[in-house]
Amino acid sequence: MKISGWLYFILILLSLCFGGLFRPLRANAAHQPLLEDGIPRSIFAYGAKWADSTYGNITLSGQTNLQRSYLWTVGFSHEFYRINRHLSLENEMNITRHSGEQDHLEANFAASFRWWTFPWDNWVETTLAHGIGPSFAAEHPPVEENDDDTADRFLLFMQTEFTFAPPVDSRWEFLVRIHHRSGVFGLISEDSGSNFLAGGFRYRF
């Protein structure tokens, strides 16, 4: 594993402690009339299937090569800074259980941005989020092994997510997400990382 302990410590601080550095602003974008205390929070859950393909191939050309390995995730997030009505910053943490070709637990933390406004929001309220942070697997993930080397448990977590909701004050959203673990092109690890394509639900409160 190439990354040093102090760098992971910094990543954890960035993803967990940023919420205490800013006073939450009262939300004023999509879904926000529900959030009267000015601290938007949500819980979410999703299931996902392993895509034996790179993040770039999935997002740019739609190549997924889905395999029989799965994950099941529950998590919590909260908005800690509202930049404007279009853009906010949030933290998340999630716990993941793998099944199929892997059988272990995984913990992930992320600091993310979320874009709230799209031209079609009068028909389908849509948000886009993207975030990064540290990821820890309780065991060495077999699908991330590279050249017969044992996969590292510590990698970078990255998520890209769209949510969709009715154009009313709905607390429920349908989400689709790429659940990604990465060695950052050898900066953290030589392992290949992994991508899982997810679908699930988010509840805001």
- How confident is residue 188, by pLDDT bands cut at 50, 70 and 90? low
SS (H, E, C) 28-96: CCCCHHHCCCCCCEEEEEEEEEEECCCHHHHHHHCCCCEEEEEEEEEEEEEEEEECCCCEEEEEEEEEE
pLDDT at 11 over 60: no
Domains and CATH numbers, the chain: 5-204 (2.40.160.20)
pLDDT at 197 over 90: yes
Tokens 């913990």 belong to 107
Average pLDDT over residues 112-124: 95
Out of 34-38, 59-63, 75-79, 121-125, which region has the weakest mean confidence (pLDDT)? Answer: 34-38
- How confident is residue 169, by pLDDT bands cut at 50, 70 and 90? confident
Q: What is the pTM of this model?
A: 0.80
Q: List beta partners, residue 42.
A: 77, 204
Q: Nearest Cα to 107, choosing from 15, 10, 203? A: 15
Please give the pLDDT value at position 27. 40
